[in-house]
Structure 1
């Protein structure tokens, strides 16, 4: 698709922008980054507390629950992990689009290369985070980020497959 080739520099710009945001974010201490004070100030009545209090699971060797962390820290955990997954999903989308013209004939590489790049960038980001005071790198976060990148790449590959399939189908119909 020639349109993707023309937009390639914008996709790479998206990759760079996301990486700059991630680098800045991983440079911040937990105290600088926490949303708990905001939640305490603006989320009144602890919505869904009863339902959330029934949830307990292990993440990165630590039990996550309201009983263990308190309501606001538990809610923040989901916000932070959602941000991890979502940011790397978007990164996977941009990488998949930026690399599409290089791998347009190999569907496996269309997904595999952006996925491995997001995983490598996630590992680097966690390493960088480990250099920041009050923060610890987490292999579990790299796995979560990697899953986000894979999800983004798969979504793009599927959408592009159907867009191209539909385009080819309509081109054949118009030739007849």
Structure 2
């Protein structure tokens, strides 16, 4: 298993680069260039409001503001979930690729296999928020860095758990083989 990861390392680094490219381009756009609200208004209209009954009773604090349907309106509140889901998802992918790319560098040190990719992704999230801060119409948020960091640690823990299970299964099937 470890040999396969080492052989595919260049592809994992390519994944890291592609995700970072998407992040850089995305954080270079102003809010008006990125908003999905006009798209939702056009295709959902005023009568078709999926998840309305679920969202109606939902409210919480995020980034120093109370987010709710009543405070933000339907489309803004729905877009909030889309944007934060994108934050979590893209950093989930980044954490996954960084973890796989760095996996062979930290042989038998599970702490570093978790910590280094996680801190790398978190550092990139902080840089991305800084980049947003110098882009017009955008503001950096520490809450977004925390959300991004959580997305990356989720991916890292899932990947390492799967690798552990696969390695354990291979050891049971081939107890005298040296390639794990």
Could you tell me the TM-score, scaled by structure 1's length? 0.96
Please give the secondary structure, in 1, of the residue aligned with 2:67.
strand
Using CA pairs under 8 Å that are at least 6 residues apart, name the structure with larger relative contact order, 1 or 2.
2
Alignment partner of 1:155 out of 150, 158, 164: 158
Q: How does 1:27-42 map to 2 (within 5 A)?
A: 27-42=28-43
Q: Specify the alignment match of 2:66 in structure 1.
A: 63
Query: How many Å separate the matches in 1 of 2:175 and 2:13?
Result: 33
Please give the secondary structure, in 2, of the residue aligned with 1:105.
coil
Alignment partner of 2:107 out of 101, 104, 109: 104
Change (3 A) 1:146 1:65: same
Query: How many Å separate the matches in 1 of 2:71 and 2:56?
Result: 10
Q: How does 1:108-119 map to 2 (within 5 A)?
A: 108-119=111-122
Please give the secondary structure, in 2, of the residue aligned with 1:172.
coil
Q: Specify the alignment match of 2:86 in structure 1.
A: 83
Query: How many Å separate the matches in 2 of 1:97 and 1:172?
Result: 25
Q: Unpaired segments of 5 or more residues in structure 2?
A: none
Alignment partner of 2:77 out of 74, 77, 84: 74
Q: How does 1:5-44 map to 2 (within 5 A)?
A: 5-44=6-45
Alignment RMSD: 1.2
1:141 maps to 2:147: no
Please give the secondary structure, in 1, of the residue aligned with 2:174.
helix
Please give the secondary structure, in 2, of the residue aligned with 1:114.
helix
Query: How many Å separate the matches in 1 of 2:167 and 2:99?
Result: 15
Give how far 1:4 is off. 0.7
Query: How many Å separate the matches in 1 of 2:141 and 2:51?
Result: 28
Q: Unpaired segments of 5 or more residues in structure 1?
A: none
Could you tell me the TM-score, scaled by structure 2's length? 0.94
Alignment partner of 2:128 out of 125, 129, 132: 125
Give how far 1:3 is off. 0.8
